[in-house]
Structure 1
C-alpha cells in the first residue's frame, strides 16, 4: 500500500514522457529538418542520431562479415556494399527519401553482385537478413516524414525490385522479398497512421484555440452591446429631463431676455437631436429583436428580490444593505445590481447549496459590492461544469465603465468571492480590475 502513490506518480511521468515523445516524433518539420527537431529537450533532439548510429554501428560489421564469410564476396567489395547499405541510415534522420533511394540502389546492386558469389546457395537472396533489418528501420523514418502518395510509391518500388530480381534468378530466391514487401508495408502504414493522427490532434488544438479566442471576443462584444443598451435608458432619461427643462424655462422664469430664451431653445433642440441619434443607435443594437431590453432598468432597490429568488433556487443567501444608502448615480446603481445578479447566478450554476452572503455598503465616495459564497453542498452536482464567460466579462466591463475596481478569486475553503468598488463621484476614469488565478 505504501508503494502505490510513488508507483502511480512514476506511471504518470512515464505516460507524460511518452506523450511528449509521440508529439515530438509526429510534429511537422520543414524540408531537411531532422526527426524530433521540435522536441523541447536537447536529449530528445539527439535521440534519432543516436538510434541511427546504433543501427549503422551494429549492421555494418555484421553485413561485411556475413558477405565475406557466408556469401564468399571479396572483402573490399563487401565493405563497399555494407557501407552503402547501412551508412545512409544516418542521412535518414533528416532526409529519409534520399536515404531510401541510396539504400534501395545499394541493395539491388548487392543482389546482382551475389548472383556471381559462390556462397549464395542455401542462403537468403536477393535480400540478406541485415538488409531486411536496416530497410525496416529506414521505413520508420520515411513513414514519419513523407506524404501518403510517396509512401505508396516507396512500397511499390520495394516490391517491384524484389519481384524483378526473382525473375532474374528464380532458383536462388527463397521468398525473402515477399517478407520485406509485407513488413515494409506494415511499418509504413503504422508510422503514417501515427503521423496523420498527430497532425489531426494538432489541427484540433489549433482550431480549439481559435474557437476559444473567437468565443471570448464574441462574449465581450455581446456584453458591451448589452451594457450600451442599458446605458441608453440611463442617458436618455437625463437627456429627456434636459429637454423638458430647457423647453419649460421661458414659462417658469419670468422676465427672461430674448438671448436667454434663444439659448434655452438651442439647448432643447440639441437635446432632441441627441435623443434621436441615440434612438437610431439603439435600433441597431436591438436589431436581434429582443423585447426584454425595453423594460425599466433595475437598481439596488431590487437586490432584495434577487436574494429571495436565489433562496427559492436552493441557495441559502442573506443580504446586508443599509436602508439609507443615499443618492447613487444611475450608471453605478445599474452596474451594482448587475454585478450582484451575475454573482448569484454563478453560485446557483456552479456551487448549488453553497451559503452565500451579499453585502452592499457605502463609504465616503465609493460603493462596495461584495458577494461571497462557501463551498458547494456535499453531494450536489453543478448545473454547469463550463460557462460561457459572460458573467465575469460583464462584471469587468461594468466596473471599468464606472472607473471602479474588481477583485474576484477562489477562497481557501473552496468558495468564491466577488468584490467590486464603484466610485460615486462623476467623471471617474476607467480603472483596472484585478483577478486572482483560479
Structure 2
C-alpha cells in the first residue's frame, strides 16, 4: 500500500512533469503533424512576369521566378551532393551502390523544391530524409555527417518555416531540429543548434516585420474608409443645408405671394395673372436650384448638374424677390465684393437668404436692413428686421430660427468665422464675419 504522503509526492511530481511536458508537446505536435503554414504572399509582376510570345499559350500564363529558382537550386544541390558522394566513394573505395548514392543526394536536396509552396511539408521531408540519407552514406561521411548541400538545404527550409508559420510551430521546429541533430551526431549539437537558432530568429524577425507592415496597411485602408465616410457625411450635411436654404426661402416667398396676390389684385384679372406668373417663376427657380443641389447624389459625374453656385452676384435678385414678398429691404454694400472666394461668396449669399426667409416667416411686412461690407481680409454681414405686422402669437416665436440658424453656424464655422444671432430691441439681428482666404 502507498501512503498518503507518497501519493501526494507522486502527484506533485506528475503535475510538475505535466507542466514541463505540455508546453513542449504542443509545439512538436504542431510542427510534425497538425500545423499549417500561412499562404504564400502574392507575387509582384517582376517576380511573376507573363509568358512571352508563343509560350503564352501554355496552361500557366505567368512564370513564378521564386518557384523556378527553388527548383533550379534543388537541382544544383542534387548535382553537388551527388558529385561529393561519388568523390568520397572513389577516395574511400567504399562498396556503396549507385542507387544509395542517388537516394542520399535526393534526400539532401529534394525538400528544397517544396519550400515556397509548402514550407512545413518541406521541413518535415527534410527532417525525415536527412537521417535516412545519413544512414545510407554514413561510411562516406567521416567526422560531421553533414554535407554542404544538407546544411544549405536545411537552413533554407527552416527559414521558410520561421517566415510563414506561427511562433509555436517555429519553436517546435527548433526543438525537433536540436533533438534530431543530437540523435544523428551528438558532437555537432552545439554547431547545429547555433545555426538553427540564428536562422529561426532571423526568419521570425522577417515575419514580424511583414505582419507589422500588413497591419499598418490595413489600418491605413481603414483610415481611408473612415475619412471617406466622414467626407460623405459632411457632403450630406452640406446638401441638407443647401436644400433647407432653397426650400425655406422659395417656399416662404411662394406662400406669402399666394396669400398676398389675391388681396393686391382686388378682382383685377390682369394683376392676378401677373401675380400668378411671378409665383410660377419662383416655383421654377426653386425646382432648378433643387435639381442642382441634388445633382451630386446622382450616379456618375457625367449626370451631375454643373450649374454655378449662387453668390453675391445674385444678391440684387434675392432682394427683389424678398421685396415682392412684402419686405421693405434696404441693401447697403461696401468694398470690393466681386473678387471673393467662391466659398465665402456662397456662404454670404446663403446667410442673407436665410435671414430674409426668417424675416418673411416670422416678421412679414417688416423693414429689413441688409449690410454687406468688406474690410481687408474679412467680410461683414449684418441683417436686422423689426416686428412687421405679426400677430401676438407670432411675436412669441420671433427668436426661433430652427435649422436655419444651425446651417448658418455650420457655414461660418467651416470658414473659420464668427456668427451672432438673436433678438435685438423689438426685432431680430444676424451678424456674421467671414475670413477671406483664397480657395484651395
TM-score normalised to the size of structure 1? 0.46
